[in-house]
Amino acid sequence: MRIGLLGGTFDPIHAGHLAAAKAALDCAELDRVMFIPAAQPPHRPRAIATADDRLEMCRLAIEGDTRFVVSDVELERGGPSYTVDTLAELRRSHPGDQLLLILGWDAARLFSTWRRPDEVRALATIVVVARPGSAAPRKADLEPAGLGGQGVILCLEPTPDVSASEIRRALASGESIAGKVPAAVERYIAAHHLYAG
């Protein structure tokens, strides 16, 4: 089985995350995409919503799509969520499967600064998805990011220009986020008063 791994803070999960997963499904011919909420992202500030809330929002976002699953592997491990540790753990629990790490170009361009990037590449094929707001990566852009050579798939299908920080700002201001997150996630945020100003 070819399993795509999409990690993130998911604070909250939104339409852009789901579009990236769907783009990777088609482009990299994946059987499944696993959403992996981070406990503590090394390159970003701490999440605002709790781990339980972020995990539940991910579950609600993928409900009804059998190609998607959610894993709490990083939340259970706790501490900084280093991709190399997650991949090593998933390699042990999925020995017969091929792992493909899905990265937006905004994250992929910083790949060389990650913890043990060579090990990450040995454990998973990298799938780079285009992100709105930055030019689509070309093969020539991959080398400086530490992603040159084999084992990288470029998926350049456009995805919606949505960000979690923009959603949190809108919610704090009392603005609508309809269409930016799945309806079930929007209801959950409202019911639990998440990100309110």
pLDDT digits 0-9 by tens, 102-119 = 999 989 999 999 999 999
Q: Provide the domain count of the chain.
A: 1
Residue 137 inside a domain? The answer is yes
pLDDT of 156-186, one tens digit each? 888 899 999 999 999 999 999 999 999 999 9
Average pLDDT of span 12-16: 97
Can you give the CATH number for the domain in which 108 is found?
3.40.50.620
Q: Return the beta strands (E) in the chain as ranges.
A: 2-8, 32-37, 68-70, 98-104, 125-129, 152-155
Question: For residue 138, is pLDDT > 90?
Answer: no
Task: Let me know: does 106 contact 137? Beta carbons within 8 Å.
Answer: no
A 10 A CB-CB count for 52 gives 11
Residue 74 inside a domain? The answer is yes
- For tokens 């799509």, name the residue: 65
Whole-number Å distance between alpha carbons of 63 and 70: 10
Residue 56 inside a domain? The answer is yes
pLDDT of 38-50, one tens digit each? 999 887 888 999 9
Residue 174 inside a domain? The answer is no
Residue 31 inside a domain? The answer is yes
Whole-number Å distance between alpha carbons of 148 and 49: 36
Average pLDDT of span 7-33: 97
Strands 152-155 and 125-129: parallel
Domain limits at 34? 2-160
Write the CB contacts of 11 (distance below 8 Å, at least 6 apart in sequence): 47, 48, 49, 54, 164, 168
Lowest mean pLDDT among 32-41, 129-138, 141-150, 160-169: 129-138
Residue 7 inside a domain? The answer is yes
pLDDT for 131: 83
Q: What is the mean pLDDT of the chain?
A: 95
Residue 86 inside a domain? The answer is yes
Residue 48 inside a domain? The answer is yes
- Helices then strands, counting H and E runs in the chain, come out as 9, 6
pLDDT for 137: 85
| Dihedral of alpha carbons 81, 185, 101, 142, sign | negative
Cis before 137 (ω within 30): no
Question: For residue 135, is pLDDT > 80?
Answer: no
Average pLDDT of span 23-29: 96
Whole-number Å distance between alpha carbons of 29 and 194: 35
